[in-house]
Amino acid sequence: MRADNELLPAADDLDMARGVFTGIVSATVLLLLAGLIGLALTGGFHESDSVAGATQYAQRADH
């Protein structure tokens, strides 16, 4: 709904920008939460999941 006053035509744009920002933040939070739930269900990180862990794992002879 556009305001009749020409001094406030950007109110709708501000509301739209706020809505887009809120949507992006909400989607990001949901993705992070889904990732944490996935980590919890799969047992979390393992030694070979990181580059340093994979390097140490590859250098060991007892794997």
pLDDT for the residue numbered 14: 85
Identity (one letter) of the amino acid at 25? V
CA angle 31, 41, 23 (to 5 degrees): 10
Residue 12 binned pLDDT confidence (cut-offs 50, 70, 90):
confident
| Structure tokens given for 23 | 């949507």
Task: Give the C-alpha separation, 16 to 20, whole Å.
Answer: 6
Residue type, 40: A
pLDDT band at 40 (very low <50, low <70, confident <90, very high): confident
